[in-house]
Amino acid sequence: MRKSSKYALGTFAILCVVAAGAIAPGELAKGRDSLILGQVHSEPLDATELSDYVNISIVDKVSLLSQASGIAEVYLQTGAMYDQDTVRARFLGELDKLHELGLYPLSADAQWNNFRTAVRLYIQNDEPAINMIVWEITMQAELLSGIFYLDDQTGKILSFSFSGAGFDDLVYQEDLVREWADYLGTDVRNIRKSAQPDEPGHGLDESVFLFELYSVSRSVSGQIACAVGGGAERANRWSLGYIRIHSDQIQG
């Protein structure tokens, strides 16, 4: 019995060695390929590694948000200041501020039907020191739905667009542009109302103001707009965004 046990164990050991010899080269090759592939994927990010939160101006931040090209975007699992659990409370607090300013019709204690977040790192390709983490927040509340962009560092809402019905009294005026600049903590100039083409019978009260946020070395053109009074069959719209940037030295 002892002899047969030893024989069985010896046979099993030999089979293990043979199996290992057949499998190991393939697994080693796969491991080597995975390592090389991992290096290929990680090397492009090495140049944009961030050791600390870089302080850039609000104008730099909204300029990153407005550029359609020349920007690298990296999806993240969490921000540096906020995570999936804490960003909601911060966003609702900022939404209350927009409500107090007259930029958003509902307070933060409204009934929420949907709330989704995505967080990204934005990096300017030709100047990687200009970078920021932004939360993209999509929400629905009562008769409204919209998308908001919140800066992870300052916790400020940088841009938004939403639509809904039943809020015909929310019409943007010129003074809200200055209120918006104060909210962001930056300077504004060249506020002007954009001429809208007449569309008889459309029933909408359209209001569009152009403006320029500026710092020492950069300015960004923005637009705040609303179209309200179209009735339930056509959702009213409100938005604030940025349409182009200027990197020239600002004079005066």
pLDDT of residue 113: 78
Based on the domain organization, do 95 and 198 belong to the same domain?
A: yes
Based on the domain organization, do 15 and 63 belong to the same domain?
A: no
- The verdict on residue 251 lying in a domain is no
Assess contact for 88 and 82: CB atoms under 8 A.
no
Segment 208-225, tens digit of pLDDT: 999 999 988 788 999 999
pLDDT of residue 229: 75
Based on the domain organization, do 238 and 125 belong to the same domain?
A: yes
Q: How many angstroms separate the Cα of 185 from the Cα of each of 55, 75, 147, 189, 199?
A: 14, 27, 22, 14, 37
pLDDT of residue 32: 41
Q: Which residue range is the domain that position 105 belongs to?
A: 58-246
Reported confidence tier of residue 196, pLDDT bands at 50, 70, 90: low
Based on the domain organization, do 12 and 70 belong to the same domain?
A: no
pTM: 0.74
- The verdict on residue 242 lying in a domain is yes
Q: How many angstroms separate the Cα of 90 from the Cα of each of 82, 135, 137, 156, 224?
A: 8, 11, 12, 9, 23
Reported confidence tier of residue 140, pLDDT bands at 50, 70, 90: confident
Segment 23-74, tens digit of pLDDT: 344 443 444 444 433 443 333 444 344 445 678 899 999 988 888 788 899 9
pLDDT of residue 41: 39
